[in-house]
Each structure stands twice: as structure tokens, then as C-alpha cells.
Amino acid sequence: MRSQTPRSAQEKNVTLDYLDQKKYVAVNGDICSERFEIVPLPEARRVKPIFDAVETFVSGMEITMSEVMGDLTVRENDDPVGTIDSPVAQHRLVSTIANSVQMDTNTAAFADYWPVGPPDSGVDELGFSINDTIDEDELYPYRPNERVRQDVTVIIMVARHKRENGEPLVVFSRWWSMRLRRSHIHVPKYISERIRNGLDTVSAAMLTTAERAARDT
């Protein structure tokens, strides 16, 4: 179990192991979960292989969700991969939870990599990955009469810092927020819990991917 360093101390050193997670029901009935974590990867020497592994993981999210959650997930939109002219990719996914309830997830994804970090930042290599909910989509609209809606925002940073002794330390940082919108569709409690816990499972699989890439750098 990772240490839960007090926030005041953690803010002084972004290379320390840290985990904070909250699960709650909002006033309007939405089921929510938030998580922030910092995971040092001491075996890693470079950011790029880890960043690439995370982006490959994200681009095949429907496959990952099907495999690790055990709930069939399909992609409704075309090729999710961004281009130089349009670096933003879309992930329009439909999951069938426990062969019972269908769930919509629609996010826009953006990623960028810098071989050299900002001046005086203490970071000399940096990768960012951001996924945010698409609220309205005329081409792939939500179907509230047929499916529940899951909103997900994920921000990932992989950065190479310097230890006090000058040795490099690659750190994986991630914040995500999940909101299962209240619906007039009947959703049994075990289904809503499966959805909320499913994001934990997918997140753990992503971290395993990053750690595996770290060992290979």
C-alpha cells in the first residue's frame, strides 16, 4: 500500500509517493469518484517509452476495458488516433455492464511530449496526456433513454526530475474524476458499483503498463 503523505508535505516534493481517493454521491444523485496519485518509477531512465506506452494504452481503451473489466466495450467513432493537423483524438465508447446496462463514455484526448522541460522547472523531460468529457456531440449523441452516461476526466504527467544527488527520477502523476450521471434508467447498486470500481481496475492496468515500460527503458 502506497504511503499517504500529508498534502502540506507533499506539495514540497512532487517526487514522493502519494495517493488520495474519494468516492461519494453528489447532491443531485450522481455517483462520483476522484483520485490523485504520484508514483515514482525508480527503474526508469527516460520518459518517452513510458509516455508512448500510456498513449498506446489510451488509444485502445475499448480493448482494455473489455479485457480488464470483463464488460464488452465497443468504439462508435472511427480511428481514434490524432494527427499533426488535428492532435485531438476522440474516444466514443459504449460498454455493456454485466450483460445488463449499457453505458456511454465520450472523451476528447490530447497528448504532447517535450524532450526538454520548462526552464528552471527541475524537469528535463516531460509528457502530458489529457482526456476530458465531451458534453455534447451532434455526430455521436448520448442516448439517455437507452444508456447511462459516464463522464471521465483524466490528466497524466510523466516527468523526469533530478534527485538531490543529481540522479534522474521519472515520476508518473495522475488525477482523474469520474461521474456516473443520475438516470431515469433503473441501475441496480451492484451495477453502479461495478462501473465506479471499473475505473479503478482500468487505472491499475494503465499503471502496470507504465511500470512495465519503465523496466524496459
Q: What is the CATH number for 40?
A: 3.30.530.20
Total of domains in the chain: 1
Tell me if the pTM is above 0.75: yes
13 lies in a domain?
Answer: no
Identity of residue 108 = A
| Distances, alpha carbon 19 to alpha carbons 1, 58, 137, 151, 194, in Å | 9, 22, 34, 22, 21
Could you tell me the three cell numbers for 120? 528552471
Give the range among 57-71, 73-87, 127-141, 170-184 with minimum mean pLDDT: 73-87
192 lies in a domain?
Answer: yes
Containing domain of residue 37, as a range? 18-216
130 lies in a domain?
Answer: yes
Per-residue b/e over 30-54, b at no fewer than 16 CB within 10 Å? bbebebbbbbbbeebebbebbbebb
12 lies in a domain?
Answer: no
Q: What one-character DSSP code corresponds to residue 42?
A: T
Give the pLDDT confidence of 127-165 residue by residue, as tens digits: 999 999 999 999 999 999 999 999 999 999 999 988 878
Q: How many other C-beta atoms are found inside a 10 Å radius of the C-beta of residue 133? A: 16
107 lies in a domain?
Answer: yes
2 lies in a domain?
Answer: no
Give the pLDDT confidence of 17-60 residue by residue, as tens digits: 999 999 999 999 999 999 999 999 999 999 999 999 999 999 99
7 lies in a domain?
Answer: no
8 lies in a domain?
Answer: no
Question: Whose CA is closest to 58, among 33, 75, 39, 70?
Answer: 75
Q: At what angle do helices 189-216 and 61-69 cross, to 10 degrees?
A: 120
